[in-house]
Amino acid sequence: MPPTSPNTYVLQVFLITAPAFILYGYNQAGLSALLDLPVVARLFPPIDTVLTSGSQEQTNSTKQGAVNACFQLGALIGSLSCSYFRDAWRRHKTILMAAVLALIGQVLQACSFELAQFIVGRLILGLGVGQLSVMVPLRQSESSKSRNRGRQVITAGMFICVGFSLSSWIDFGCSKVPYGSIQWRLPLALPCACSISIAASIMTFPESPRWLGTRHATNNLFQLKDDGSRLWWRFTLCMLIQLFQQTCRGNLISIYTTEIFGTNLGLSGDLPRILAATSLTWKLLCSFIAFAGIDRLGRRRVFIISGGMATCMIVMAIATSFPTSNTAASITAAGFIFIFSLCYPIGVLGGNFLYCNKIAPAHLRAAMSSVSTANHWLWNFVITMITPPALPSIGWKYYIVFACISSCIPAVVYFFFPETSHRSLEAIEQLFRDAPTIWQIVPMARDLPRGELPPAFVAPELKKDEGTHEEHREWA
């Protein structure tokens, strides 16, 4: 399998990776602001928190969180389904199916006149985006070269931020349109262009070379055995990094930023929406730090740097404990939302997908990616579901939970996560086989060869594939 040309890489990024992760970010962040529109509140009374108050508002906020979280629930099921389709369906066919599902879900959402139809559309949309969140980074990781794999896969996080930012500004702009239904239907319909781009172009690109090498391999996550390669430990690391990515409060800031600026900080008028859109645009700009540093600093360092989120959460908890009339406290809290948006994308917005694909063995890469990404969506669902009632009920105490979790990231990464930057997928495989204990994996990773296969080791999947060892060395 000859290497893919640079021009083909660029086309894949803009026609597949970009729209897939814009869909991810856009559909996560876009709905919460729309649910606060009076026209939506009147159309869907069970989730109305604008025209109600007291206990009815509290009940409706819980329902609103459930409706919002239907997307995450669908994504959880969609990512798990990739464990079934995985290699048998090819990477391309699964991505095509995911794009079609996302398109169907978007159409159902944008055309809804009943809450039940809206929920079904959101679930189907989640199914498609969940599958894309597994298969697109997996395919990209398998098709990238070791020297620039980090930058190529980290673009996922950048495009998630593009989706966050676009949804905020589009929602704000459409809220000023005088025609009621356009205020929310147009923002939900616009990302259909992303689904169409993926569906129309995916089959024109070459299949993943590593999929071709493992197409006859046994691929069942539930047949993991302790065969000396520490599969369960690698699976645990995948689950941990996805857990940290969701429970450090990153998507809480992205999804409920408008509500945080409005309800928690006591801002009113258009200011909460403008500040929310500005903070998400700032997050997009900060994501370029990860793009520039992921291959220079390595995976471990960017994960550890992101641990600075703990300080932001501590300050947020202190600042929001004061009454909303305290202007200084509100300004401090708003400022640390922006600092959080600096720390978060550096390590745990895109780097989590990259790391999971890098440490998984070739014959189980699709299955491990599927289940660990499902864990990502599970905690995403939990946070999205509980946040609307939690913010008004426990307030500042909610941030303490995220401060504790974020503070664990640097220590856990330092002791247990080996560096994978500039190491071939096969070298990482050999590392887990050779380390006498899990405590030795991290120090041994420092001595791995950079950018090429370890001596006297040829991965089993390369022996099965066509071509010479030299042709495959480029892909290691």
Residue written as token pair 């930023």: 257
Q: What is the percent of the chain with per-residue pLDDT over 90, rounded to a whole number? A: 22
Most confident of 190-194, 206-210, 288-292, 343-347: 190-194
Angle between helical axes of 182-189 and 18-34 (0-180°, round to 10): 160
Q: Residue 233 in 3-state DSSP?
A: helix
* Choice between 76 and 207, residue whose per-residue pLDDT is larger: 76
Give the tokens for residue 325. Answer: 């009339």
User: pLDDT tens across 44-55, in order?
Assistant: 999 888 888 888
290 backbone dihedrals φ, ψ, rounded to 5°: -65, -40
Residue type, 454: P
Residue written as token pair 């969609």: 78
Angle 21-287-134 from CA coordinates, rounded to 5°:
30
pLDDT number for residue 33 = 78
Give the tokens for residue 468. Answer: 């010479």
Residue 448 Ramachandran class (φ > 0 left, ψ -120 to 50 alpha, else beta): beta
Q: What whole-number distance in Å separates Cα of residue 118 and Cα of residue 130?
A: 18
Angle 178-280-175 from CA coordinates, rounded to 5°:
5
**For the residues 185-196, what does the mean pLDDT come to?**
93
Give the tokens for residue 451. Answer: 């950018």
User: pLDDT tens across 394-429, in order?
Assistant: 878 888 988 998 899 999 999 999 988 877 777 888
8 A C-beta contact, residue 311 and residue 337: no
* DSSP codes of every residue in 110-138: HT-SSHHHHHHHHHHHHHHHHHHHHHHHH
Q: What whole-number distance in Å separates Cα of residue 369 and Cα of residue 174?
A: 37
Residues contacting 190, CB < 8 A, separation 6+: 170
Residues contacting 443, CB < 8 A, separation 6+: none
The number of residues making up the chain comes to: 476
Tell me the pLDDT of the chain averaged across its residues: 81
8 A C-beta contact, residue 388 and residue 398: no
Q: Comparing C-alpha atoms, which of 218, 155, 256, 260 is closest to residue 363?
A: 218
| Residue 436: Cβ within 10 Å count | 8
Residue type, 366: A
pLDDT reading at 460 higher than 50: no
User: pLDDT tens across 143-154, in order?
Assistant: 666 566 666 667
Give the tokens for residue 352. Answer: 């989590």
Q: What is the percent of the chain with per-residue pLDDT over 70, rounded to a whole number? A: 84
8 A C-beta contact, residue 306 and residue 346: yes
Q: What whole-number distance in Å separates Cα of residue 169 and Cα of residue 409?
A: 32
**For the residues 129-136, what does the mean pLDDT come to?**
90
Q: Comparing C-alpha atoms, which of 315, 323, 322, 341 is closest to residue 254?
A: 341
* DSSP codes of every residue in 205-217: SPPPHHHHHHTTS
* Choice between 104 and 88, residue whose per-residue pLDDT is larger: 104
Angle 126-130-136 from CA coordinates, rounded to 5°:
140
Domains of the chain by range and CATH?
6-473 (1.20.1250.20)
Residues contacting 72, CB < 8 A, separation 6+: 28, 126, 377, 380, 381, 384, 385
